[in-house]
Structure 1
Amino acid sequence: MVKYYSQLKPFLINENIISLEGTIADNHIRKWAMVEIDDENDNLSKFTELEILILNSNYFSFTHTGSAIQFNSSFQKSIEYLKTNKIQIDERYPRLEIMHNIYRPDVPLSKEQFWIPIIC
């Protein structure tokens, strides 16, 4: 994505950066950086190396406000909420973090959305 970012700018739905995290084996994860693009545009066919991902799952979402260092605390509270309410995480689907274009990891008022796949 980084390789094509400037060329993809005209096709972006927004300027948010999405971090996608999926489990590939015990204690191993794979992370990707993504952007949302308008897939209705015929000019995208020239980007043959891009991967298209369509997510078809239910997600629990929360917004973390604070620095990146404080994120783990918010994440743990969300996991506890799911466990307390007997909501099961769906490990077949990736987790998502959406960092808006104004996101700065060291700024205490930064916001990021985190999406956890769940089984309903």
Structure 2
Amino acid sequence: MPPTGGFESLKYKRNLPYKGPGAYVLLGGVTAICAYGFYRLGKGNLERRELQREKVWSRIHLVPLFLAEGDRDMYRRQQAAIAREKEIMKDVPGWEAGKSVYNSSKYRSPEIVIL
């Protein structure tokens, strides 16, 4: 038989502790973090674009210097080659050192590097 006054009532209600912020707070936090990330990405893209532009312009301004340096080096090598040719062919009568082997007065730069 049941006890007098009846049995105790069953505790079926969930009694869980508070587990953190709500869904709207989390959504707002994620949105803020993503917005800050996109802001930094945009700033990084601007800086990268500026550095690329600076690199291109520095190359444009350095090309004449590199061409002049190459011309000076080619002239120095050509004069050294003519001096070697004069030394080697000094016993051959009628030999003109440095004279072009082509039957044209048009200037042709050497296609190979003479060491």
TM-score range, shorter chain: under 0.3
Scaled by the length of structure 1, the TM-score of the pair is 0.17
Which one has more relative contact order, counting CA pairs under 8 Å at least 6 apart? 1
Structure 2 length as normaliser, TM-score? 0.17
Quick check: which has more Rg, 1 or 2? 2
Greater strand proportion: 1
